[in-house]
Structure 1
């Protein structure tokens, strides 16, 4: 008996195209999506970016991509509605959009300590279970038959080898969900393994309990999969997974979703094993809850903190397929953290010429606005106006007046970047975040900003480093690139940087642009002022030359170094003490709101 020949991809195309509308109707008769991209050749797959699967979705353009070439090779041609409806489900149910896709990945990563790199695979399996269960029960589609076909293909490619533990668990969950005969999908091995059988039952319960709160169940599903994933990946190699991983690169592209710099309350607390979840087991654990069930856990590395560290944020974005460099992701992280705190930067009033004075006429060109034509002068020259020849327009000069105009105060920010400071690429650096808040507020108001990172030793140039913007700039990217750099050298901010910025002959500061100097450092600044030749004089002359006052933010107790603190105030600097670096963010917000507004530049408000 000869085997039936596999259909050619092109022969499948009419049937699959015809099934698109009925597949949409499986979710809603009002649903509209762009038609799927069918790939008939390897070239088509490459053009669409289709790898590791015969189907995929893209959330960036809400696309569904199907390789009919692979469908034919895997003998899946008879399941167009099941496969198309499944892909549509990723756009309708989960993950649906870029932000929820990122949250799904984050919740999954929390449940896979030590195996976070496999979060995209586990998240894909979890979403598939929810979608397939909905289609099997509510839309009347035989999704089980698709997996029987996939199993037959897997046996051919694997031979007599044993399927992986995670793959067996995945199929066993479907058997429990759909009350299939034991071993129908997962094989007899699954029922001879007590751990697999119990976890399969828990996974099926989880899918039903969290079917309408799928984000809430993601961490629990990951915790359920973790021991099986570890068994399959003793050397952290990719485990055996189905050829239907259609959402691995759903969020790939140059757009990084917002809202991921902070941890959600459920992200860590929700990464508990389903056996410890009363809503799944039906048991009231009460005071008998075991360690690891999520009770008493904090949201991140610090007690009670709710931010996602920059290093973890970068890993998450890269796992999503965001096509930005690590440096660009760090800049986006701090900018997003700063946005809630931004306010218009304070402005000071100056007197400027505002009264226009007529001075004469000049030829009017047809490319200029018609309203600029001085018709009286033009008609005096010729009763028959010829555009560009006899037409003229009035010119105006300016007369000094006394109407005040707001002019933003430029900002110079010096940040201590010595070895005692946090690397902003690894963990959240509050001095950097505060600097971003203040500089972006300045740029938003039309001011210019100069940023300098400095980690220096007095009189020891070999141990001194600094990085700064090329003078006072208006470019946000230039400012953020400098602020998110890290030096980790020296002991304090170098006073010599003020000399270079304000006092040297080629200093970038312009005398007609009032500038406020703000330095964020610690008590080592006094060692720098004392140890640098003419250090106190440099600081005093710089703030006088800047013309809009200065501020020193010191990480220290309020009564530390009282005599030197008073000396700083005496030469023109307000002094603010912050006992915890977290407090510098509140200072940055308050600084931008009140330090200048209604009081004028250079007002004394130290504490």
Structure 2
């Protein structure tokens, strides 16, 4: 559709304003035996209307005259002229006008064989990488997807519109404020632009773009102009260091004969500010229940995945490391290799899908927290009521109760543990109290959309830069 639309706009300009004989080009093409499909007839008839030529002047002469093609081509010619300078605004109308000719598979495939040599822009985006902005629904763009047949019928009173009609397309989407495309549709749309794009890269980009407005601000490096540099000894001066850094006196004390780069030294300095209280953001472990009850984030928008993305990217932005784990057990799991600083590694795990088992597998906590962690970490687990059934089980490998693993993991993490429960506060009260005594915080959500509120609040509390620090 985009290729035909662009050709109509460009060739009409070349014929009328640049005085190039584009009509002769199409006459030559049709002499060599072009398609007799309705799509080709519509395309040629549009050019004839644009250039005020008689029907069949370009050489495309169907066996039987179709008045519907005449009517549609007339509308297309008017559209091309009307939106020549604002072509993007007319794209939706052109697509609606052309749609009936492309939806008939046999006719379209027949025409496509002939069109192939002219589809010079079909793979224009191949290998072009990511394009920002396609995730969010363009309300203004949607409002322009109006079938010109409907507009013509309204202008003509009782005049009946020809072909299939769309009317006004209503906007609707998924995610926060329902502003975003379905992930499956986003992937399909992007692959029409760049057919060889990696699907994993696309789904990572999908959740990254939606998460961006909810991330913490980038931290700013604070500089203290009143600090003093204090001498703290010497170290060897290398020949690659600046010459003016050599401490000649100390070098001479060490040896009466000075050989630069061999026995020369330079003085090192430190700040007079006591930075023992410098705050380092805690790493974060994000465990997501990916059991059979969870939807595939590549097909339908996933609130748990968005929440995990907001927390993960906020932590990375603040300088912390992230370990992500998807778990649907008994069954399978997927996790990053330890705590990572790569958003690609983290998102590739978080946006994957298992659909196995019934709950997040508590034994997965043994991997990062089986022993006391070198660096303290937050532990965040997103799950539902089935976690209590999992807690009541015993690890078949170690023969240790999952309750013990849950308590040990929090102690070894040395940070804060939060269990995000899609549940009601009145359920499993005894088990929840047991978790709280261990030190776990329990955050309830009654619908999945509240997960974004939790993720934003958690990120701001733990990873945002405060002016009073």
Structure 1 length as normaliser, TM-score? 0.66
The one of 133, 136, 143 aligned to 2:22: 143
Secondary structure of the residue that 1:148 maps to in structure 2? helix
Tell me how far apart the structure 2 counterparts of residues 500 and 382 of structure 1 sit (CA, whole Å).
Answer: 54
Tell me how far apart the structure 2 counterparts of residues 497 and 433 of structure 1 sit (CA, whole Å).
Answer: 21
Cα pair 1:408 1:446 within 8 Å, conserved: yes
Secondary structure of the residue that 1:466 maps to in structure 2? strand
Cα pair 1:493 1:525 within 8 Å, conserved: yes
Tell me how far apart the structure 2 counterparts of residues 284 and 583 of structure 1 sit (CA, whole Å).
Answer: 49
Mark the CA change 1:366 to 1:547 in structure 2 (over 3 Å): closer, same or farther: same
Q: Structure 2 regions of 5+ residues with no counterpart?
A: 221-226, 395-399
Secondary structure of the residue that 1:531 maps to in structure 2? coil
Mark the CA change 1:129 to 1:310 in structure 2 (over 3 Å): closer, same or farther: same
Cα pair 2:146 2:169 within 8 Å, conserved: no
Cα pair 1:269 1:299 within 8 Å, conserved: no
Number of corresponding residues: 451
The one of 396, 408, 414 aligned to 2:287: 414
Displacement, 1:209? 2.8
What residue is the counterpart of 1:214 in the other structure? Answer: 87
Secondary structure of the residue that 1:189 maps to in structure 2? coil
Mark the CA change 1:138 to 1:561 in structure 2 (over 3 Å): closer, same or farther: farther
The yes-or-no answer on 1:527 pairing with 2:411 is: no
Q: Deviations over 1:517-550 (max 9, x none)?
A: 0011112112222334633332223222212211
What residue is the counterpart of 1:496 in the other structure? Answer: 363
Mark the CA change 1:183 to 1:327 in structure 2 (over 3 Å): closer, same or farther: same
What residue is the counterpart of 2:47 in the other structure? Answer: 174
Displacement, 1:125? 0.3
What residue is the counterpart of 2:69 in the other structure? Answer: 196
Mark the CA change 1:474 to 1:208 in structure 2 (over 3 Å): closer, same or farther: same
Q: Structure 1 regions of 5+ residues with no counterpart?
A: 1-121, 348-353, 457-462, 600-607
What residue is the counterpart of 1:568 in the other structure? Answer: 435
Displacement, 1:344? 4.9
The yes-or-no answer on 1:367 pairing with 2:240 is: yes
Cα pair 1:451 1:483 within 8 Å, conserved: yes
Alignment of 1:87-236 (within 5 A): 122-153=1-32, 155=33, 163-185=36-58, 187-189=60-62, 192-231=65-104, 233=106
Mark the CA change 1:340 to 1:191 in structure 2 (over 3 Å): closer, same or farther: farther
Cα pair 1:164 1:239 within 8 Å, conserved: no
Cα pair 2:291 2:356 within 8 Å, conserved: yes
Displacement, 1:399? 11
Mark the CA change 1:439 to 1:127 in structure 2 (over 3 Å): closer, same or farther: same
Mark the CA change 1:577 to 1:398 in structure 2 (over 3 Å): closer, same or farther: same
Report the more deviating stretch, 265-274 or 488-497.
265-274
What residue is the counterpart of 1:428 in the other structure? Answer: 301
What residue is the counterpart of 2:224 in the other structure? Answer: none
Tell me how far apart the structure 2 counterparts of residues 337 and 221 of structure 1 sit (CA, whole Å).
Answer: 30
The yes-or-no answer on 1:592 pairing with 2:459 is: yes
Cα pair 2:37 2:107 within 8 Å, conserved: no
Secondary structure of the residue that 1:133 maps to in structure 2? helix
Displacement, 1:260? 1.0
Displacement, 1:390? 4.9
The one of 118, 123, 127 aligned to 1:253: 127
Structure 2 length as normaliser, TM-score? 0.84
Displacement, 1:568? 3.1
What residue is the counterpart of 2:380 in the other structure? Answer: 518
What residue is the counterpart of 1:276 in the other structure? Answer: 150
Cα pair 2:288 2:326 within 8 Å, conserved: yes
Q: Deviations over 1:207-246 (max 9, x none)?
A: 2233333223223222222222244625956453263222
Tell me how far apart the structure 1 counterparts of residues 63 and 421 of structure 2 sit (CA, whole Å).
Answer: 63
Tell me how far apart the structure 2 counterparts of residues 320 and 201 of structure 1 sit (CA, whole Å).
Answer: 29
Mark the CA change 1:262 to 1:448 in structure 2 (over 3 Å): closer, same or farther: same
